[in-house]
Amino acid sequence: MSSNSMADPRRPNKVLRYKPPSTENNPTLEDPTPDYMNLLGMIFSMCGLMLKLKWCAWIAVYCSFISFANSRSSEDTKQMMSSFMLSISAVVMSYLQNPQPMSPPW
């Protein structure tokens, strides 16, 4: 299968280890979505908790889900879990304080 059918092109003595590309040099290559969504989720859940707005809390839940789906595997799971918990607590608190259903804006 190798183009050089005469000799084996492999050189075990010339093996170089994998170095993960450093993302500090090129921040443009990083996808900013999970960080933005995390931040948005926290903001919305704080709004939902403080201002007792149910729709804010629901949007926060969605944001934390989106952030989780887009996150890199190297990222801290603690951060993800904390934003999840915050948004779910915002939803639960809004309903405990005011059990009436949400009214649509139209």
Which residues are at the interface with another protein (CB under 8 A)? 1-4, 8-20, 25-26, 28-29, 58, 61-62, 65-66, 69-74, 84, 88, 92, 99-104
Long-range contacts: 71-80, Cβ < 8 Å, 24+? 71/34, 72/34, 75/34, 79/38, 80/38
Between 73 and 76, CB nearer to another protein: 73
**Whole-number minimum distance, CB 57 to another protein, in Å?**
10
Between 72 and 78, CB nearer to another protein: 72
Tell me if 63 sits within 8 A of 37, measured CB to CB: yes
Between 18 and 78, CB nearer to another protein: 18
**Whole-number minimum distance, CB 24 to another protein, in Å?**
11
**Whole-number minimum distance, CB 103 to another protein, in Å?**
7
DSSP assignment of 21-57, as one string? PPTTT-GGGS--HHHHHHHHHHHHHHHHHHH--HHHH
